Homo-oligomer: A and B are copies of this chain.
Amino acid sequence: MKDQVDGILQQWKQIKPELDCSSMGVVGRLRRVDNQWKQQLDTVFKKQEMSSIEFDILATLRRSQIPLTPTELYKTLMLSSGAMSTRIEMLVKRGLIERVYSEQDRRSCKVMLTDQGITIIDLALHAHLENMDNLLKPLNNDEKNQLAALLKKLLLAQQ
């Protein structure tokens, strides 16, 4: 069975027979899968009225179990400090998080989930997990583990 990438590789083979495009068969497919997944994941986030970044902020706070500073958050999530401030302000306005100002260092604050924030992120997490389970339906358990192992090898190599 042929997918779109097979067609693309075949076209290149015709016009550039001397080139080895095999890496495109891996990279191109991974980027396409990511693109499809990204869209489906965003659909579910939108239903909870949040962006994927906002989900990541709330989820990071939830699983840390302790309040984090904006600096810790933007470094973890690889955003600029300005972008993080904007996102935090949005979530504060919606009552999902609150800022707790430090006693020791009065420049600093910690970002903390509100009760409502915890409720919302727990709901969103459930929907997100179900969504990801669906994305992986085409693979059996062995294949999922294989895929995870290959991706982990790539991630560990780049760090």
Interface residues of A (CB under 8 A from B): 1, 3-6, 8, 11-12, 14-16, 19-27, 29-34, 36-38, 41, 62-65, 125-126, 129, 132-133, 135-139, 143-144, 146-148, 150-159
Contact = CB atoms under 8 A, between A and B. Distances in A.
A22 B144 contact: yes
A43 to B, nearest CB: 14
* Main SS class of interface, A: helix
Number of copies: 2
A30 to B, nearest CB: 6
A25 to B, nearest CB: 5
Contact of A23 (B5, B24, B135, B138): B135
Contact of A29 (B1, B11, B148): B148
